[in-house]
Amino acid sequence: MVTPERAIRHDKLGQQAVEVVLADEEPLQICINGRPFSITMRTPGHDVELVKGLLFGEGVVDPAGLEAEIRLEQLDGYTQAEIEIPEIYLCRDLLERRSLIANTSCGFCGKREMRDIRWTNQELEPRGPVDASLIPKLGEILQSDQTVFAQTGGSHAAAAFTRGGELLAQFEDVGRHNAVDKVVGRLIARDQLAEADILYVSGRISFEIVSKAAAAGIPVLCAVSAPSSLAVRMAREAGMTLIAFCRGDRFTVYTHPQNLARKEHAHA
């Protein structure tokens, strides 16, 4: 489940247009007995297996209750999975109308309905172009301060910078979205949210990370790993410059490259 995309790849020799492939990401809304239960972001495909595994793994349904048919319906931008389960097979928490608890890998797990997700319509505009040569330097700053990751290999990091490269806030957490939330919280506490032009994250970019950056009004989002298809689409709609695969002097720009300025090297 992949989507082709065009991007611009930068390295120390220059830049070139490239064809890339993105992993698909879309919401799946799960309804039990006609009531919205939860939403999970996933790669489409094998949704019946996903629903059964998720409900069983979270202790929501006894195995016998998962013999029921799961009906899938394609709606506007997401899939809805409907399952009818006798209450005898359901856990007490569900009967008391509690939704799936959010975990450290998904900031939208735990939402009941699609309307609970905030899709930003904010058009982001940086205060000026960001120097492309600054991107690798910001990655070095992010990596140099990942003390928990250096000790454990088990944490993510997020950092906010000004357009000139000044570090405003940086945090680590076992959850990617948690690290971003901590950065935004620090910026709010210090009244510096309007100064943040760049958000840099250590992992991949999913829709949730784009949504959080857009809600904070941060127009440039960088990541060490890959973006998903939905992340790229939402960044494009939000006016956000999305940069990924930031490795050394190399990085790939997926959306709004006009917000980057590149100083060409002089030739001998």
Give me the helices (H) in 38-133, please.
Answer: 47-57, 92-95
Chain position carrying tokens 């990655």 = 139
246 is catalytic: no
d(CA 30, CA 56): 13
State how far the Cα of 112 lies from the Cα of 184, in Å rounded to an integer: 24
- In the numeric block, which tokens belong to residue 84? 């009818």
Determine which one of 31, 106, 109, 222 is catalytic.
Answer: 106
Q: Shortest CA distance to 222 belongs to which of 238, 207, 249, 203?
A: 203
Whether the Cβ atoms of residue 205 and residue 226 lie closer than 8 Å to each other? yes
DSSP string, 114-129: GGGS---------SSP
Bin 165: left if φ > 0, else alpha if -120 < ψ < 50, else beta. Answer: left
Query: Exposure string (b/e) for 73-98, b if CB count within 10 Å is 16 or more?
Result: eeeeebbbbbbebeeebbeeebeeee
The Cα-based distances of 235 to 74, 98, 110, 210, 253 in angstroms read: 23, 32, 23, 6, 11
What does DSSP assign to residue 3? E
CA angle (202, 131, 156) in 5-degree steps: 5
Q: Which residues are designated catalytic?
A: 106
